[in-house]
């Protein structure tokens, strides 16, 4: 059975709702999903999972959340080469540049980014379905 970590930070609950859909997709595909808040995920944990979904909303000037998520990301990103990952998060302003920048960084690290999904504010049914599909892809 494939093991997938779903690691995220949320401020308003929108990114958490997306994480729940990713988890549902992982489970529907018959894999094991582990929900982790960003503060609880460490570099040593990367090797424990076959794939990882990372979720973070846009903050400030379209950047990752700076006090919890960014430090976690900085600590794990050197371990992501060859790892299957997915990226997701919500935004309330701007055009989603934070996600495109994050995606480009993850690819430059050698991660196998299977998808990246953004929701403007709360995820609607279409975005939830995309998140479920991300979970299914990561479970394979």
pLDDT-derived band at 75 (thresholds 50, 70, 90) equals very high
The 10s digit of each residue's pLDDT in 79-133 is 999 999 999 999 998 888 999 999 999 999 999 999 999 999 999 999 999 999 9
* Total tally of structural domains belonging to the chain: 1
* Tokens 């998520």, located at residue: 69
What is the pLDDT, as a whole number, of residue 93? 83
Q: What is the pLDDT of residues 7-56, one digit of tens each?
A: 999 999 999 999 999 999 999 999 999 999 999 999 999 999 999 999 99
For residue 23, how many other CB atoms are within 10 A of its CB? 19
Q: What is the pLDDT of residue 72?
A: 98
Look up the CATH number of the domain holding residue 104.
3.40.50.360
Domain that holds residue 49: 3-139
* Beta carbons of 103 and 113 less than 8 angstroms apart: yes
Cα distance between residue 27 and residue 12, in whole Å: 25
């Amino acid at each position: 059975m494939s093991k997938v970590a779903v690691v995220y930070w949320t401020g308003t609950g929108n990114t958490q709702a997306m994480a729940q859909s990713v988890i549902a997709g992982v489970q529907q595909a018959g894999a094991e999903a582990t929900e982790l808040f960003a503060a609880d995920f460490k570099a040593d944990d990367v090797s424990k999972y076959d794939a990882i979904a990372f979720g973070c909303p846009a903050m400030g000037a379209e950047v990752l959340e700076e006090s919890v998520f960014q430090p976690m990301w900085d600590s794990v990103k050197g371990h992501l080469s060859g790892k299957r990952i997915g990226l997701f998060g919500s935004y309330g302003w701007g055009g989603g540049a934070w996600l495109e920048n994050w995606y480009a960084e993850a690819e430059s690290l050698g991660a196998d980014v299977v998808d990246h999904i953004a929701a403007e504010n709360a995820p609607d049914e279409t975005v939830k379905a995309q998140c479920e599909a991300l979970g299914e892809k990561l479970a394979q």
